[in-house]
Amino acid sequence: MADDKFPGWHGTTIIGVRKGGRVVVAGDGQVSLGQTVIKGTARKVRRLSPGGHDIVAGFAGSTADAFTLLERLEKKLEASPGQLARSCVDLAKDWRMDKYLRNLEAMLIVTDGKDLFVLTGAGDVLEPENDIAAIGSGGNFALAAARGLMEADLDAEAVARKAMAIAADICVYTNGNLTVETIGE
């Protein structure tokens, strides 16, 4: 696809917040094509249960690419039950090295309630500082807001929801229709 023929797909903000023994992953529902909002209720945060282990994942980027990556992650988790870090590293290796996978355009935030990771197509498996991860077009806005809110007397979900509301006020590719999943104690 040539960039001059097709406007870019935009429109995702995903945040993961770890606080008080819980991890919350929240994502907005907006999908835009160029300057047009084509869907406002997309569900970009999913709960996975490979091998009976609860995992929450949020994705930014191409939906089809993200679903492909989520399927691969589930297979890695089934092969290494309860080992999220190992499964993420294995997926990132495949993503970077495999001829087909390396063309996928998406990013993931994944958590098992203890660990919190950002996965990228560059082979990165990042454990965020300050117990906050954010990706997508409004990710930096949500990250900055959440960092400012972490000292407040708020739980992980309240921090994530407030940070997403701030991002939605600033980023034109982010809306307030949230999907929120909580995992942990």
Task: Determine the Cα–Cα distance for residues 81 and 95; give it in Å rounded to an integer.
Answer: 20
88 assigned ligand-binding residue: no
Is there a catalytic annotation at residue 12?
A: yes
Helix, strand, or coil (residue 165): helix
- The strand ranges marked E within 74-155 are 106-111, 116-119, 125-126, 132-136
Give me the sheet containing 13-19, strands edge to edge.
132-136, 13-19, 22-27, 179-184
The residue whose two tokens read 């509301």 is 165
On whether 165 is known to bind a ligand per the annotation, the reply is: no
What is the C-alpha separation between 114 and 112, in angstroms, rounded? 6
Of 12, 68, 111, 179, which one is the catalytic site residue? 12
Measured distance CA(66)–CA(77) in Å, rounded: 16
Measured distance CA(140)–CA(180) in Å, rounded: 18
Report which residue type is found at 172. V
Are the C-beta atoms of 22 and 113 separated by less than 8 Å? yes
Residue set of the binding site for Na(+): 168, 171, 174
Residue set of the binding site: 168, 171, 174
- Which residues form the catalytic set? 12
